[in-house]
Amino acid sequence: MPRPGFVLEVDERTPPLLVHEGEGFRMQRFPLGTRVVYPPDALPGIRDVNGAIRHALLHPTGSSRPLPDLLKAGMKLTIAVDDISIPLPPMMRPDIRQRILEQVIELAARKGVEDVQIVVATALHRRMTADEIRRMVGERVFRSFWPEGLYNFDGEDKDELTFIGTTDKHEDVEISKRAAGSDLLVYINVNLVAMDGGHKSVAIGLAGYRSLKHHHNVETMMHSRSYMDPRPGHSAIADSATRMGRLLAASGLTIFQIETTLNAETFPKNLGFLNRREWEWSAYDQGLMMAARKANQIAPPRARREFFRRVEAPYKVTGINAGEVEAVHERTLENLHRQQLVEVRGQSDVLVLGLPYVSPYNVNSIMNPILVHCLGLGYLFNMYRNMPLVKPGGVVIMYHPVPWEFHQIHHPSYIDFFEEVLAETTDPSTIESKYEERYATDPWYTHLYRTSHAYHGVHPFYMWYWGAHGRDHAGDVIFVGGEPKSVARLGYRAAGSFRDALEMAKDTVGSSPSITYFHAPPIMIADVV
């Protein structure tokens, strides 16, 4: 039986613990009494995935009719799929989106549906390349639909956006005209974390700046108790997406939502030791660890990045649910929590996070300093329910080299944000009021977003806002091994070692701080009580 996650207290017998630090990792000894939060074991996967997909399509959840009953000749069918930002790392082929797409398309063909288009729900993310899309959807679907019937969403194509209306909170809802004008919209989701899926899929994935600015802003981020707790009143961004999604439903748009969950098998066999607890490592695991660490230390940065880009996760599918959006998402969250929830009692003075070379926005790219900020204070810090793992005013210590480097094609507006905006201020509210509109409407950034593979001009702002809650909560943020100039530009402090970081933290939390090390990945959510 898979074991649930648990909390270990470091004592004299505890071996050095593995800590991710960008493209590499280190073995770190922690002070006696440190709490170490471990994720649960990987749940078993569904044995017959294709059978489970078929069952979900024919026996939907909630008020929805079976998918074949919603399909008819002469209708307009749009299928939207999550983009390359999830899962992380990418899953071994066949991708679950490919498997679902093939069955949905086959059902549509049997019903005589000819007007079918597949749109990758990128929102303001970068356009996926043809090879990336082919890998995700599979050769058969790619050859049949690319490029006229299979394409990236364009949030800046004004002629292809439709204004639906405003919510009772005065939020503009504007989405893909093709999706809004379809007789049926099927959305295929991979729910990697609790903030994915639900109404967020369509209302955010198929929306442009006019809609996104209502929830991707400083006020919303600061008024979210936890991004990973979508219960009403806990996440302002989830509440906003729900209002928008319900308005879409009220407008007459029929959405058939298909959501999937994965287990915690994050790393392949050659990195299998990263999935296991240190004291459970076999001699073979220890040998793999030492070999991987040595190879990583001598390899140039480009080679290290390329190695991590090629990692494919052997995830197993743990759940497939389809039908009405809210009913489906309720089941999705139950599956997700079975895999990810770990009960933790109380908060600590210091929270330690190891940041891997994996984030939603550096797939086949570079982890630039703004993405490091977002991964640490936006994602890992927020992997909790109820309350953060660190006390208000406590210290967050993160491991990452934070190199001053950017992907010139993917992140052009990030470069200017880092060198122009952060050189003047790191305050999220000031940044939002003074700079956001200019970057969001800059014609050059818009051109690169639409015609190249660049993130939208406003995207680095969203990444900065994403960390606003963690930044405001913490009294100090320290990077172990971080490049001092890059870390300073972010507004944080750099330390040469963990011991140095703890000495620096004592200025904020005293001489005997309580410490929690959040041992991720694999992904988990701390249920702090």
Q: For 34, what's the count of Cα atoms within 13 Å in the CB-facing half-sphere?
A: 24
- Say what percent of the chain tops pLDDT 70: 100
Q: For residue 37, give both structure tokens.
A: 């939060």
Q: Tell me what pLDDT residue 5 has.
A: 82
Q: Is 259 helix (H, G, I), strand (E, B) or coil?
A: strand
Per-residue pLDDT tens for 398-422?
A: 999 999 999 999 999 999 999 999 9
- CA–CA distance from 236 to each of 188, 242, 420, 437, 489 (Å)? 24, 10, 30, 22, 29
Name which of 2-16, 32-46, 90-104 the model is least confident about.
2-16
Name which of 52-61, 119-128, 308-317, 346-355 the model is least confident about.
308-317
Q: Tell me what pLDDT residue 275 has.
A: 94
Instruction: pLDDT band for 332, please (50, 70, 90 cuts).
Output: very high
For residues 242 and 205, the answer to whether their CB atoms sit within 8 Å is no
Q: Work out the average pLDDT over 275-300.
A: 93
Q: Tell me what pLDDT residue 475 has.
A: 98
The structure's pTM equals 0.97
Q: Tell me what pLDDT residue 302 has.
A: 83
Q: Tell me what pLDDT residue 440 has.
A: 98
For residues 153 and 118, the answer to whether their CB atoms sit within 8 Å is no
Q: Tell me what pLDDT residue 306 has.
A: 87
**Residue labelled with tokens 């919603």:** 70
Kindly report the average pLDDT of the chain as a whole number: 96
Q: Work out the average pLDDT over 194-222.
A: 97
Instruction: pLDDT band for 4, please (50, 70, 90 cuts).
Output: confident
Residue 289 contacts by C-beta under 8 Å, 6 or more apart in sequence?
Answer: 18, 27, 273, 281
Per-residue pLDDT tens for 151-166?
A: 999 999 999 999 999 9
For residues 226 and 493, which has the higher predicted lDDT (pLDDT)?
Answer: 493
Q: Work out the average pLDDT over 420-427.
A: 98
Instruction: pLDDT band for 6, please (50, 70, 90 cuts).
Output: confident
Q: Work out the average pLDDT over 434-455.
A: 98
- Say what percent of the chain tops pLDDT 90: 95
Per-residue pLDDT tens for 295-312?
A: 888 998 888 888 888 899
Per-residue pLDDT tens for 34-47?
A: 999 999 999 999 99
Cα–Cα distance for residue pair 262/117, rounded to 1 Å: 26
Terminal-to-terminal C-alpha distance of the chain = 26
Q: Work out the average pLDDT over 306-331.
A: 95
> What is the full DSSP assignment across 141-165?
HHHHHTTTTEEE--TT-GGGEEEEE
Q: For residue 414, give both structure tokens.
A: 């990030």
Q: Work out the average pLDDT over 469-479.
A: 97
Per-residue pLDDT tens for 217-265?
A: 999 999 888 899 999 999 999 999 999 999 999 999 999 999 999 999 9
Cα–Cα distance for residue pair 238/221, rounded to 1 Å: 10
Q: Tell me what pLDDT residue 308 has.
A: 85
The dihedral sign for the CA sequence 230, 231, 232, 235: negative
Q: Are strands 35-38 and 6-9 parallel, antiparallel or unpaired?
A: antiparallel
Q: Work out the average pLDDT over 460-486.
A: 97
φ/ψ of 27, rounded to 5, equals -100, 120
Q: Work out the average pLDDT over 91-106.
A: 98
> What is the full DSSP assignment across 314-371?
---EEEEEEESHHHHHHHHHHHHHHHHEEEE-S-EEEEEEEEES--TT-TTS---HHH
- Angle between the N-to-C axes of helices 428-441 and 443-451, in degrees from 0 to 180, rounded to the nearest 10: 70
Q: Tell me what pLDDT residue 77 has.
A: 98
Cis peptide bond N-terminal to 15, omega within 30: no
Q: Tell me what pLDDT residue 60 has.
A: 98
Rg, the chain, Cα only: 23
